């Protein structure tokens, strides 16, 4: 009999987990569904455009897109390759919320635009010209959101820069492109430690987008879409009501980075690991950096009286046990990942547990 040590309050089924291969990722479907319901409530006042990059699993994306009672505008992707997977799975409206400059992915987006409504973030004349060329060659029409830097200082044009209007005008004048609006992702706000700070950073980002929309409209240009936000600012944007869609991705599965700052969602993703070596006070698990992305900090071990040693080995995690806690080789434990996106990207499948039933869902977008 394999002993599975379930985290306190977990609805997972120990008998089902005893039969799975380790190390592997498991999702608690009931927790996922509760997270979707919370997201639906938080999003009141805006819409969701779930970000596929968080989990890269089209079956999970389908659950998000089919959520009843919650306006969902389509899917968000980080790359053209992810978009191809999502379109092949039947999604008809996809935003690549990222700049694309290489020929091959631009060609891919241009060809996908024949089957689905495709939109791409753009922040340079060169990027826009390259996208226009590929769309014209393909005979398709690709939507554009002019990307604004609303404080993260990653991609995007600074609000007020004349380039915003220039990109919008060039897009509107093109036969192969369609100006859909503006994007501004406030990545710097997502993991701010308290809800008030997240809300004030989200408000500032929304205000920057709204001001630029006024400039576009004043110049006679369309601006139907204001896209941005994430799991950390979804509730804020639901209240602010300026964004037309929020690109949240982590909320169905969640991770420790978000759990730490309290964004209203619960842990639904665990890494199931086996104890492969043990002596009093000490145990070693068969999951390390190759199963649990560790650069953003350590995962959380769901076992009372046990503490992970700081730092993962390639294939191992070391556990320090209190005198009252025992683990034996073959025992199984669960670890909550620190960062969902890069952890999912390490696994070919997700074992989705619904009480005692387990289904294997492919992480089919991993190639992107």
Ligand X SMILES: Cc1ncc(COP(=O)(O)O)c(C=O)c1O
Point out which residues bind ligand X (CB under 6 A): 51, 54, 97, 185, 187, 190, 230-232, 247-250
CB of 303 to ligand X, least distance (A): 27
Number of other CB atoms surrounding residue 100 within 10 Å: 21
CB of 345 to ligand X, least distance (A): 13
For ligand X, the closer CB: 229 or 294: 229
CB of 155 to ligand X, least distance (A): 8
What is the CB-side half-sphere exposure of residue 133 using CA atoms within 13 A?
A: 13
- H helical segments located in the chain: 14-17, 29-42, 58-65, 80-88, 103-112, 125-138, 162-173, 195-218, 234-240, 256-261, 340-344
CB of 97 to ligand X, least distance (A): 4
Number of other CB atoms surrounding residue 213 within 10 Å: 20
For ligand X, the closer CB: 186 or 331: 186
For ligand X, the closer CB: 24 or 247: 247
- Classify strands 93-96 and 75-77 as parallel, antiparallel or unpaired: parallel
CB of 130 to ligand X, least distance (A): 20
For ligand X, the closer CB: 79 or 247: 247
Return the SS3 of 259. Answer: helix
For ligand X, the closer CB: 145 or 284: 145
For ligand X, the closer CB: 252 or 294: 252
| Region label for 318, one of left (φ > 0), alpha (ψ between -120 and 50) or beta (otherwise) | beta
C-alpha to C-alpha distance for 313 and 311, rounded to whole angstroms? 7
Residue 47 has which token pair?
């819409």
CB of 68 to ligand X, least distance (A): 21
Q: Which residue is nearest to ligand X (CB)?
A: 230
């Amino acid at each position: 009999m394999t002993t599975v040590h379930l985290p306190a309050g977990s609805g997972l089924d120990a008998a089902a987990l005893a039969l799975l291969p380790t190390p592997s990722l498991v999702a608690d479907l009931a927790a996922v569904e509760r997270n979707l319901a919370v997201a639906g409530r938080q999003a009141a006042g805006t819409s969701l455009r779930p970000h596929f990059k968080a989990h890269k699993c089209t079956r999970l994306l389908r659950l998000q897109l089919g959520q009843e009672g919650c306006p969902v505008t389509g899917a968000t992707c980080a790359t053209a390759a992810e978009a191809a997977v999502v379109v092949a799975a039947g999604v008809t409206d996809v935003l690549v919320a990222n700049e694309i400059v290489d020929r091959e992915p631009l060609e891919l987006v241009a060809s996908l635009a024949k089957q689905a409504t495709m939109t791409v973030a753009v922040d340079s004349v060169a990027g826009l010209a390259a996208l226009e060329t590929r769309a014209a060659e393909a005979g398709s029409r690709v939507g554009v959101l002019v990307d604004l830097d609303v404080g993260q200082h990653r991609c995007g044009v600074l609000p007020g820069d004349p380039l915003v209007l220039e990109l919008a005008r060039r897009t509107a004048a093109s036969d192969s492109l369609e100006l859909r609006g503006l994007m501004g992702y406030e990545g710097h706000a997502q993991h701010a430690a308290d809800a008030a700070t997240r809300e004030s950073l989200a408000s500032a980002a929304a205000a920057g987008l709204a001001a630029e929309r006024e400039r576009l409209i004043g110049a006679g240009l369309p601006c139907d879409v204001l896209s941005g936000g994430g799991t950390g600012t979804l509730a804020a944007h639901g209240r602010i009501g300026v964004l037309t869609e929020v690109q949240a991705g982590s909320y169905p599965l969640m991770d420790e980075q978000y759990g730490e700052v309290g964004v209203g969602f619960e842990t639904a993703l665990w890494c199931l690991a086996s104890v492969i070596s043990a002596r009093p006070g000490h145990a070693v698990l068969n999951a390390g950096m190759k199963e649990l992305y560790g650069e953003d900090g350590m995962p959380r071990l769901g076992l009372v009286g046990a503490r992970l040693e700081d730092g993962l080995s390639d294939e191992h995690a070391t556990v320090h046990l209190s005198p009252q806690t025992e683990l034996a080789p073959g025992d199984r434990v669960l670890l909550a990942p620190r960062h969902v996106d890069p952890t999912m990207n390490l696994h070919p499948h997700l074992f989705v547990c619904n009480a005692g039933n387990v289904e294997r869902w492919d992480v089919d977008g991993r190639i992107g």
